[in-house]
């Protein structure tokens, strides 16, 4: 009985996601082994490029567990990056700017959470307004692209270029030089955040409250949970994680501009959905979302390695995967309903 309840549709979906990632990655390794796809560094590069997305997806998963949605994340990243870039250009310390960005994240999330939780406005509308607001504010702060250079902030520059070497998996390059695989600090931040979210969702009262509210808000309220407050906390977490993601993003791009991270919210949502999180709430976990991000990253990495495919292919492939996954989810849900 216990094993049966454990092997439900969602576990199978998670396994499919992980399996798909392995198949995709192995396929890439076989097809492009001559171009160095099989080196450990390729995988690490996927992690480095997507470190911001991993943070955002963690927050979004929490919101989606409460049956909500947060489409303001991409614009919030753009605004945060712009604040970081402009702040450092005018000579402020990197640490101060990072703290400011985090505080902005908390305040922004709190406001959105208040509107969703206490005023019961549809999350989609609230966060859409949030998206407009952040995107517009980015332009109000500065309409041009502002880059972070060694001159503007030595500290931030050093962080961005710091390499953390991995002791295994190196290879000899064409010139016979031994290449040591490395990751950037942003990956460490993202993975720590992932671990934190996983533990929080699994072992804390708050984490379980997210699941309870997403499953059935009315019964959660009857159980004595403060539904409004928990919802607000979910949006706050999303915005804070997003701000942390913005720092990772800034470390990668070293710039702030109005058009930065456009469409990132949709990448994050599709990653979470591919990872088995239901938009109806109550089901999902961050491990699945993490693999969702990896699948997205692998697809764009393969397309990049190929070099001949049009740039729009990653979008189309991700959308196709999303299609397959939501249809499987819906078929599982229908089967469950029929059993009842």
Work out whether 310 is an interface residue with other proteins (CB under 8 A).
yes
Work out whether 326 is an interface residue with other proteins (CB under 8 A).
yes
Work out whether 196 is an interface residue with other proteins (CB under 8 A).
no
Q: How far is the CB of 176 from other proteins (least distance, A)?
A: 38
CA 36 to CA 32: how far, in whole Å? 7
- Give which of 113, 102, 99, 45 is closest to 76, Cα–Cα: 102
Task: Please say whether the beta carbons of 182 and 44 come within 8 A.
Answer: yes
Q: How far is the CB of 170 from other proteins (least distance, A)?
A: 37
Question: Which residues in 55-94 contact other proteins (CB under 8 A)?
Answer: 69
Work out whether 139 is an interface residue with other proteins (CB under 8 A).
yes
Query: Residue 103, Cβ neighbours under 10 Å: how many?
Result: 12
CA 250 to CA 209: how far, in whole Å? 33
Measured from the CB atom, the residue of 98 and 242 that comes closer to other proteins is 242
Measured from the CB atom, the residue of 243 and 296 that comes closer to other proteins is 296
Q: Rule CB under 8 A: choose which of 29, 102, 106, 129 binds other proteins.
A: 129
Please identify, among the stretches 102-110, 124-132, 189-197, 208-216, the one whose residues bind other proteins according to the rule CB under 8 A.
Answer: 124-132
Work out whether 330 is an interface residue with other proteins (CB under 8 A).
yes
Work out whether 188 is an interface residue with other proteins (CB under 8 A).
no
CA 245 to CA 109: how far, in whole Å? 14
Q: Rule CB under 8 A: choose which of 85, 115, 227, 299 binds other proteins.
A: 115
Q: Are strands 255-256 and 171-172 parallel, antiparallel or unpaired?
A: unpaired
Work out whether 206 is an interface residue with other proteins (CB under 8 A).
no
Torsion sign across C-alpha atoms 125, 264, 52, 260? negative
Q: How far is the CB of 133 from other proteins (least distance, A)?
A: 4
Measured from the CB atom, the residue of 67 and 201 that comes closer to other proteins is 67
Task: Please say whether the beta carbons of 326 and 274 come within 8 A.
Answer: no
Kindly state the tokens that stand for 285. 């976990």
- Contact letters for other proteins, residues 252-281 (x by CB under 8 A): ------x----x--x--xx--x-----xx-
Measured from the CB atom, the residue of 40 and 142 that comes closer to other proteins is 142
CA 179 to CA 169: how far, in whole Å? 9
Measured from the CB atom, the residue of 92 and 229 that comes closer to other proteins is 229
Measured from the CB atom, the residue of 189 and 302 that comes closer to other proteins is 302
Q: How far is the CB of 95 from other proteins (least distance, A)?
A: 28
Q: How far is the CB of 310 from other proteins (least distance, A)?
A: 6
Work out whether 172 is an interface residue with other proteins (CB under 8 A).
no
CA 272 to CA 130: how far, in whole Å? 20
Q: Rule CB under 8 A: choose which of 11, 316, 335, 336 binds other proteins.
A: 316
**Helical residues (DSSP H) of the chain, grouped into ranges:** 2-6, 9-31, 40-49, 51-65, 73-89, 94-117, 123-141, 154-161, 185-203, 205-215, 217-222, 227-253, 264-274, 286-306, 313-339
- Give which of 274, 300, 279, 278 is closest to 289, Cα–Cα: 274
Q: Rule CB under 8 A: choose which of 86, 97, 137, 274 binds other proteins.
A: 137
Work out whether 221 is an interface residue with other proteins (CB under 8 A).
no
CA 230 to CA 225: how far, in whole Å? 8
Kindly state the tokens that stand for 336. 């469950």
> Would you tell me which residues interact with other proteins (CB under 8 A)?
69, 115, 118-122, 124-126, 128-133, 135-140, 143, 258, 263, 266, 269-270, 273, 279-280, 310-313, 315-316, 318-320, 322-323, 326-327, 329-331, 333-334
């Amino acid at each position: 009985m216990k094993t049966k309840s454990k092997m439900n549709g969602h576990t199978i979906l998670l396994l499919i996601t992980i399996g798909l990632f392995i198949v995709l990655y192995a396929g890439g390794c076989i097809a492009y082994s001559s171009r160095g796809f099989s080196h450990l560094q390729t995988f690490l590069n996927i992690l480095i490029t997507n470190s911001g997305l991993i943070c955002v997806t963690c927050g979004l998963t929490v919101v989606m567990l409460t049956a909500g949605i947060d489409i303001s994340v991409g614009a919030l990243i753009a605004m945060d990056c712009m604040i970081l870039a402009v702040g450092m250009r005018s000579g402020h310390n990197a640490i101060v700017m990072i703290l400011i960005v985090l505080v902005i994240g908390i305040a922004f999330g709190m406001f959105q959470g208040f509107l969703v939780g206490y005023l019961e406005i549809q999350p989609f509308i609230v966060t859409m307004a949030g998206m407009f607001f952040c995107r517009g504010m980015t332009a109000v702060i500065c309409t041009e692209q502002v880059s972070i250079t060694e001159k503007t902030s030595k500290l931030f520059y050093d962080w961005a270029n710091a390499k953390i070497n991995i002791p295994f998996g190196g290879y000899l390059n064409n010139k016979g030089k031994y290449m040591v695989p490395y990751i950037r600090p942003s990956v460490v931040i993202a993975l720590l955040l992932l671990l934190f979210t996983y533990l929080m969702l699994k072992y804390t009262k708050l984490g379980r409250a997210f699941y309870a509210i997403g499953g059935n808000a009315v019964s959660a309220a009857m159980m004595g949970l403060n539904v409004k407050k928990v919802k607000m906390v979910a949006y706050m977490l999303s915005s804070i994680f997003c701000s942390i993601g913005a720092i990772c993003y800034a470390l990668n791009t070293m710039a702030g501009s109005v058009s930065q991270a456009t469409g990132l919210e949709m990448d994050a949502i599709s990653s979470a959905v591919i990872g088995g999180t239901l938009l109806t709430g109550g089901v999902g976990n961050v491990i699945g979302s993490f693999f969702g991000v990896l699948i997205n990253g692998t697809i764009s990495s393969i397309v990049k390695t190929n070099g001949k495919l049009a740039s729009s292919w990653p979008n189309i492939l991700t959308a196709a995967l999303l299609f397959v996954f939501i249809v499987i989810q819906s078929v599982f849900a229908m089967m469950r309903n029929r059993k009842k």
